[in-house]
Copies of this chain bind each other. A is one copy, B any other.
């Protein structure tokens, strides 16, 4: 389809100002050493205003071979129910440098990913954020290998590309320590995947749980550790089984908020009150879940906005361009205190 109206060009500005196109070009480039008179500059600026001329960023991108665009390639992250903040954080940082974020969801399909990368490259995009919905090991598509890339919410097993991800281990430790500090000793954990999954969120949060118990001189009771699948159904099933055993826990660390939601349902069904009978800590601070459970859920915040911001910042300050010096940047998860933790009751 052809354009329906003509955008004013530099030639139109020149004609309106009664000067050459070269003069307009010199003035708009803002070259301080140019010999154009002040009245001519003023005439050109007036013509720019009157015509609504806007300097052509596409032309600029073409000239400089670097567009004012940051490519954001996400498997599902841009449409994940809880990760929109990643995009917002990255965009906020890009905006500071007058850059736009070009977002594409690939749905995890390699062919779409490849086509998106190709098209972005042909639009002179030279900086990329490669984001994952879940914190997991990822492999870059070959066409991105020589570009400036930051991997987001994931890790690069080869260690050659910068990555920004949450500090899962420290988060798991802080969540568990919150329960220890409240006086709990029998603390269960319902993880979101098995350790064999090698999912950093599952493995790291578990390692943090173990470390916090060891820090406090408490042993690991295998009866109290369950591996679910991360959904409310799994939380419901495993929390129910935990409470039905001979020596139930007084507190449960659920490795995500959805698992915690299922645990709430299992406890409510058994007439157990939170936090009076059982304390719960979640993970993710999922904004559509955690504040609305009854009681509101104490949980660990995933620093999505900060992660997006940090990834864009690494690209725009040139940090990500230093090949051979790539490293993982792990951002801290903060405890969000709500109403699901209390001191354990004395056993009758």
Contacts and interface: CB of A to CB of B under 8 A. Distances in A.
Contacts of A262: 292
A191 interface: no
Contacts of A101: 103-104
Interface in A35-65: 54-59, 61-62, 64-65
Given A58-B67, A288-B81, A102 B105 contact: no
Contacts of A78: 78, 84, 87, 103
Contact of A288 (B7, B103, B288): B288
A199 to B, nearest CB: 20
Interface stretch (A11-19, A117-125, A218-226, A247-255): A117-125
Nearest to A86: B79
Interface residues of A, number: 70
A155 B59 CA distance: 35
A88 interface: yes
A160 interface: no
A88 B79 contact: yes
B62 A88 contact: no
B321 A1 contact: yes
Counting from the closest, the 5 A-B pairs by CB-CB distance are A79-B84, A57-B122, A103-B103, A232-B292, A81-B81
Interface of A: 1-5, 7, 54-59, 61-62, 64-69, 76, 78-82, 84-85, 87-88, 91, 95, 98, 100-105, 107, 112, 115-116, 118-124, 126, 146, 148, 231-233, 236, 258, 261-262, 265, 268, 286-289, 292, 294, 318, 321
25 contacts: A5-B146, A7-B65, A55-B122, A56-B62, A57-B122, A58-B58, A58-B67, A58-B122, A61-B123, A78-B84, A79-B84, A79-B85, A79-B87, A84-B84, A87-B103, A87-B105, A88-B107, A95-B112, A98-B119, A100-B104, A100-B120, A101-B103, A102-B102, A231-B292, A262-B292
